[in-house]
Structure 1
Amino acid sequence: MIQANDEQAVIRQLQTMLRSIQIARGDVVTVPVDGIYDTATRDAVEQIQHENGLAVTGKVDLETYNLIYGMALEADFAASEPMPLYAFPKGRTLSAGEVSDLVILVQVILNALTDGYDDHPHFKLDGAYTDDIAAAIRRFQMRNGIPPTGDVDKATWNALVRNYNKYRDAGA
């Protein structure tokens, strides 16, 4: 059990988890992260015990710890950003005639951007880098100050992703 005389590092870990839970709930954050099992820490533990039908002791036994740990994991997960997808390999260039899963991603991005640019039809998501896609990429490159090669290199990929993220963040 974690009590007032336990090591400060363990108490700090508990306090960090309690704070995560309070923040996720929108509660007033009352638990300091100082390694001291004080009244604020005990009160937060008792609140969680009470809300979850556990004996309200203010002590952190295994059942209480597992509950707090699980709640903190959920809180941290809910607050975290999604993992980024690093799909475009370093040194890669996509060109007309290629068929690949990576081309499907380019097609998805171009289709999403069609509403903003409106200068090409929606592309079939088949992974085929057609002449029509190369033409759409050239127009995109010109609008973004990139030499209009029609190929998707790192600079073009980054511009596609940047534009897509702006489009997505705008609520589209």
Structure 2
Amino acid sequence: MLPERFLLGRPVRSLQTMLRAISRSYPFLPRLVPDGIFEERTEQAVVLFQQNFGLPPTGTVDNDTWDAVASVYRGVVARTRLPRSADVYPSPSFRVEPGGETLHLLVVQSMFKSLSHVLDEVQDAEVDGRHVDGAAANTLWLQSRGNLEESGVFDNLSWDLLTRLYAIFITRNRRVE
């Protein structure tokens, strides 16, 4: 049986979770396992937090300590979370024929422009929203490399392949599905 000073429950697990996240940015804090048990390691983390964030180092989590932990946690999460993704492809049925023009191509062309710096076969074409010249050639190149129908029409399948290449070569996101 645990001594009376040991606390159990969700608030303790929440505290441990926040302190664990904070420890990634402030390595002086131990990396806690959020188990919901307020034991010596959790108390040590609280004391270290209090000492380093201008609170009396009591090891007790009063309102001031809880508020400070929560505030630092929110700041750490805001600085370290992945940026929000944006859905920029208009719809599954969206397509641009060769010779067409649309503002939606600006994103596509910008992605091709980035890829042109790492893939020799991709042309460094204008970013102007027109599906001509380099943009059309890049679409054909993409379709040929992806075993898609080489129509030159930029469509949902072309978008899917382009975003995968962009994730691999530009953003280095290896979790491409």
Q: Say yes or no: TM over 0.5.
A: yes
**TMscore range, shorter length:** 0.7 to 0.9
Q: Tell me if 1:65 matches 2:66.
A: yes
Moved more, 67-76 or 154-163: 67-76
Query: Which digits, 9 at most, give the CA deviation of each residue in 1:79-124, with x for residues without a partner?
Result: 433322221122221223443332001111111122313453x333
2:120 to 117, 120, 132: 117
Identity of aligned residues (%): 24
* SS of residue matched to 1:50: helix
Which has more helix, going by share of residues? Answer: 1
Counterpart code for 2:56: A
Q: 1:112 to 1:98 in 2, by over 3 A?
A: same
Query: Which digits, 9 at most, give the CA deviation of each residue in 1:35-91, with x for residues without a partner?
Result: 222222121111111111111222222222122112222333444333222211222
C-alpha contact 1:32 1:41 (8 A) present in aligned 2: no
Q: CA RMSD in A?
A: 2.5
Structure 1 length as normaliser, TM-score? 0.81
Structure 2 length as normaliser, TM-score? 0.79
Q: 1:51 to 1:28 in 2, by over 3 A?
A: closer
Alpha-carbon distance in 1 for matches of 2:46, 2:122 = 59
C-alpha contact 2:19 2:29 (8 A) present in aligned 1: no
C-alpha contact 2:126 2:134 (8 A) present in aligned 1: no
Once the two structures are TM-superposed, the CA of residue 28 in structure 1 deviates from its matched residue by: 6.9
Q: 1:119 to 1:58 in 2, by over 3 A?
A: closer
* SS of residue matched to 1:100: coil
Match of 2:33 in 1: 32
Moved more, 38-47 or 82-91: 82-91
Counterpart code for 1:117: D
C-alpha contact 1:31 1:41 (8 A) present in aligned 2: yes
Alpha-carbon distance in 2 for matches of 1:111, 1:30 = 42
Once the two structures are TM-superposed, the CA of residue 5 in structure 1 deviates from its matched residue by: 7.2
Q: Tell me if 1:160 matches 2:158.
A: no
2:152 to 147, 150, 153: 150
Alpha-carbon distance in 2 for matches of 1:80, 1:133 = 34
Alpha-carbon distance in 1 for matches of 2:62, 2:33 = 20
C-alpha contact 1:30 1:40 (8 A) present in aligned 2: no
